Amino acid sequence: MSYAVAYGEWPGCMGPGYVDGLSGQGDHVFQLHHETQNPKLPPPEFSYFRDGVHVCGFQMYMHTWSHEITGTRPELLSAAVRAAGIPDEDDRAAAHAKSLAVVEETFRLTLPREQVLHQAVRAALIKGQSPA
């Protein structure tokens, strides 16, 4: 399993809609995009790609943002997102936590928190990006 962390100025050429080089033949890519320096405070956005195709994704705080689940297979997430109450959750932190739980359960993903926060992880430069 691999993890990639990208950092760049907003608006950059990464994030929702950026798929160039992220997913090849048979690759499953799960992307979490979070713009910490955007003054509009958009919610984190989750996207799932397979073979370079955006399969499904959603904004992880729907209360005042988009309620749409996007992609070619939105049904992979729609029932779980509604069952968790994410569209009606008005607390951002709670919506983000519920959204992460839905993503983890739906796709059977877990991030090794201690490893990501406190250990060195392998990194790769994505074509077209420059290191900070």
- Domains of the chain, residue spans: 28-118
Query: Can you read off the two tokens belonging to residue 49?
Result: 């790609």
What are the strands of the beta sheet with 45-50, ordered from one edge? 28-33, 45-50, 53-59
Q: Cα 14–62–112 angle (5° rounding)?
A: 55
Nearest to 32 by CA among 42, 18, 45: 45
Identity (one letter) of the amino acid at 17?
A: G
Structural element, H or E, at residue 49: strand 45-50
pLDDT digit string, tens, across residues 17-42: 556 566 677 788 888 887 777 767 77
For residue range 95-127, what is the model confidence (pLDDT) as tens digits? Answer: 999 999 999 999 998 877 787 778 877 666 655
**Is this model's pTM higher than 0.85 or not?**
no
